[in-house]
Amino acid sequence: MEIRVSGIVNDSIVDGQGLRLSVFTQGCPHNCEGCHNPQSHDFSGGSLRDTDEVIAAMKKNPLLDGVTLTGGEPFCQPEACLEIARAAHSLGLNVWAFSGYLYEDLLTLAPDLLNETDVLVDGPFILKERSLELKFCGSRNQRLIDMKKTREKGEIVLWEAPQWVAF
């Protein structure tokens, strides 16, 4: 299956917890002022890749903790991103997704992809809310949602970084 991407980073440590394969999808309707990836907004930009190529990159890197679907707007290419997310889970990897849409909107916009997401960073980037102190998001309005706990409780549960035990 084809996916239009702005780029792929095989060893990211800034797009979610742990070592990640980050897939920067191409095309975004939000056009947030101050966006970190403005080159990813044009729906006809970037390049076409096959999802099998992305999945092969996952398989080649035994150090990966997970895959991050970012952009651009990954929920504008839900079928291709769903294929990547399912493959990641089959390899024991977690899936993070960044979206300018809110969780509540994604429930109807792309429920299958949302169901294959472990952590969702939702909400548009708002330049006035920008903070360099935040982990894994750019502005204070964005939420890091623990999707497994959210599905279990039936209400939004925010993701919390694990507490490591010192020896």
Quick check: 114 pLDDT over 70? yes
CATH for 2-153 is 3.20.20.70
Which helix (H) or strand (E) covers residue 47, if one does?
Answer: strand 47-50
Confidence (pLDDT) at 162: 84
What are the residue boundaries of the structural domains of the chain, listed by start?
A: 2-153
Render pLDDT for 7-35 as a digit per residue (tens, 0 to 9): 999 999 999 999 999 999 999 999 999 99
Spatial contact of 68 and 84, defined as CB atoms under 8 Å apart: no
Render pLDDT for 124-133 as a digit per residue (tens, 0 to 9): 999 999 999 9
| pTM summary value | 0.95
Render pLDDT for 34-75 as a digit per residue (tens, 0 to 9): 998 999 999 999 999 999 999 999 999 999 999 999 999 999
Q: For helices 78-90 and 51-60, give the axis angle rounded to 10 degrees.
A: 20
Residues 154-164, mean pLDDT to the nearest whole number: 90
The residues, ordered by sequence, that sit 6+ positions from 17 with a Cβ below 8 Å of its Cβ are 65, 66, 96, 119, 136, 161, 162
Distance separating alpha carbons of residues 164 and 142, to the nearest angstrom: 25
